[in-house]
Amino acid sequence: MSESRVLVIDTNREQGRSVGAVLEFVDFTPECWADVDALCAQATRPREYAAIVIGDLGDSCESFYAWLKRDPQFPYILLLPDQVEVPHGLHPDEHAVLQLPIRHQQLAELMQRVSVKRMDTEAERMLSRLGPSGESAAIQRVRSMIDQVAPFDTTVLITGESGTGKEVAARRIHALSRRANKPFVAVNCGAIPADLLESELFGHEKGAFTGAVAQRRGRFELAEGGTLFLDEIGDMSLPMQVKILRVLQERSFERVGGNETKQCDVRIIAATHRDLESRIVSGDFREDLFYRLNVFPVEMPRLTDRIADLPRLVDDLIASLQADGRGDVALSDQAVAALQQYAWPGNVRELANLVERLSVLHPGQSVGVEALPERYQPAAMPAARQGGGLADATAEPAPAAAPGLPESGIDLRDHMASVEMALIRQALDASNGVVAHAATLLHLRRTTLVEKLRKYDLGR
C-alpha cells in the first residue's frame, strides 16, 4: 500500500477532478475513476490505497461495495455528500463525511484519521498473527509475563523502542484474556492532533464543533467490553492526560459537546517508546497518570538483544507472506547470518519490511548475501552503523573525514546528490517509510523532504 495513493471514485467527473486537485495540494496522489464497473474489473485491491473517496456511484453502488468488502483490509473511507447514506456494515471507525466545498483544514484533519488507520500496515498485521516469536531468554521472559497478566483486567504498560512489537504483545494479552471475543481497539495517541484526540477517544455529539455533522462514537465506546490499546501515550498532551486519568479513576466519560455520562468497561493497555519517568521530571507527563498505567510493566527487547531469534522471525514472516498470497521468497543461511550482524534501528518492523521487499524483488527465489540491499551487507556495516546508525537521532554525529580528491577531479554536484540520496534512503528505511519521521531524522521540514523525493524520483 502506498502512503500517499488515494482512490477517488465519482461518476461526476468534474467533482472527482476537483477533489483530486485538493488532494494533490496536500501531498497525496489521487487516482480518479468515473467508471465504477471498470474499476471493479481491475486486479487492483482496495488495500493498495491509503484512503478511498466515494462520491456518486450511480447504478453501480452494490457492485462497488461488493468489490470493497472482498478485501477485509480496505482503507479509510471518505464519503462525499452525494453518498452521505452510510453503506450497511461499514464500521463507524472506518469512515467520515467530507463536506463540499473542501477546505484545506477539514481535509488535513480527516487525512490524520487516514494516517491512524494506515499505522496498521500490512507488515504489522503480518506480525500481529505471530505473537512475540522466538526462543531467546529475553522473549521468553516477555511471553511469560504476558501469559501471567492476560487473565486479569490489570492495566499494562508496554515499553520499548519503536518497531519492537509492542502492539503484538498487546494483542496477545487481549487474545489470552476473558475479553478475547470482544473488540481490540488501537489508537496511536501521537499520530492524532491534540485538538482531535478527545473526539477520537470519547466521541462527539452532532454540532459539537465545526465539521461535526453527525454523532460519532469514540474509541472507548467502540472497545466496550474489550481492550483499548493506547499506543505512544508518552506523546499525549497534558490536558488530555488529565481526561484519561479521570476515565481510569471513574470508568466514565462524556462525549465532546454532550452532558450524558457514559460508563465504560474496557481494559487499558498503554505503550510508549519514551522514558516516561524522565518526562515526569521535565513536566511533560503526569506522575499520577504514570502510576495508574504502570501497574504491570512489560519491556519489549530490541531485536539486537534477541538476535538469536532472527532466523525464526524470518521463517515466520515468510510463512505469513505465503499464507496471505503476497509472495514467496527464501533467504540463504549466509544471508541470514549477514542480517544477524546488522544493528536493526527499526527492530522487528524493519525486518518485516525487508522480508516483504525481498519477496517483491525476488519472487520464488533464494536470496543470497549479494542480493540484500546494500545497507544490510556486512561490507556496508562500519562500526558507526553497528553502534546504532540513524537509530540515535539525537546523538551528535562525529566529524566525517573528507574523501580524497581523485587526480582526474570529481563532479561535485553529482557526488553531493548521490550522498543526499543515500542519506534520504537510510532515513526512510529507519522510519519505515514514514516521510514525516524521516524528515525529523534529517532535520528537514516535511515539505522540503517531499520536494527532494520528487527531485530524485525516490518513490514514497
Task: Express each pLDDT in 257-288 by its tens digit.
Answer: 888 889 999 999 999 999 999 999 999 999 99
Across 184-213, b (16+ Cβ under 10 Å) vs e yields bbbbbbebbeeebbbbbbbbbbeebeebee
Q: Which pLDDT does position 335 carry in this prediction?
A: 92
CATH of domain 303-397: 1.10.8.60
In the 8-state DSSP scheme, what is residue 403? P
Task: Express each pLDDT in 120-139 by its tens digit.
Answer: 444 445 444 557 888 899 99
Instruction: Give CA–CA dist 396/384, Å, rounded.
Output: 12
Instruction: Give CA–CA dist 181/174, Å, rounded.
Output: 9
Task: Express each pLDDT in 383-421 by its tens digit.
Answer: 434 444 444 444 444 444 455 667 677 777 777 877 888
Report which residue type is found at 189. Answer: C
Q: How confident is the model at residue 85 (pLDDT cuts 50, 70, 90)?
A: low
Domain 413-460 in the same topology as domain 137-300: no
CATH of domain 5-118: 3.40.50.2300
Q: 137-300 domain in CATH 3.90.230.10?
A: no
**Do 280 and 317 contact (CB within 8 A), yes or no?**
no
Q: Which pLDDT does position 40 carry in this prediction?
A: 83
Instruction: Give CA–CA dist 163/32, Å, rounded.
Output: 34
Instruction: Give CA–CA dist 442/444, Å, rounded.
Output: 5
Instruction: Give CA–CA dist 355/123, Å, rounded.
Output: 10
Beta bridge partners of 270: 157, 230
Residue carrying the nine cell digits 507472506: 321
Report which residue type is found at 300. Answer: M
Instruction: Give CA–CA dist 230/191, Å, rounded.
Output: 11
Domain 413-460, CATH number (from 3.40.50.970, 3.40.50.300, 1.10.10.60, 3.20.20.140): 1.10.10.60
List the domain boundaries for the chain.
Answer: 5-118, 137-300, 303-397, 413-460
Instruction: Give CA–CA dist 120/231, Å, rounded.
Output: 12
Instruction: Give CA–CA dist 447/460, Å, rounded.
Output: 13
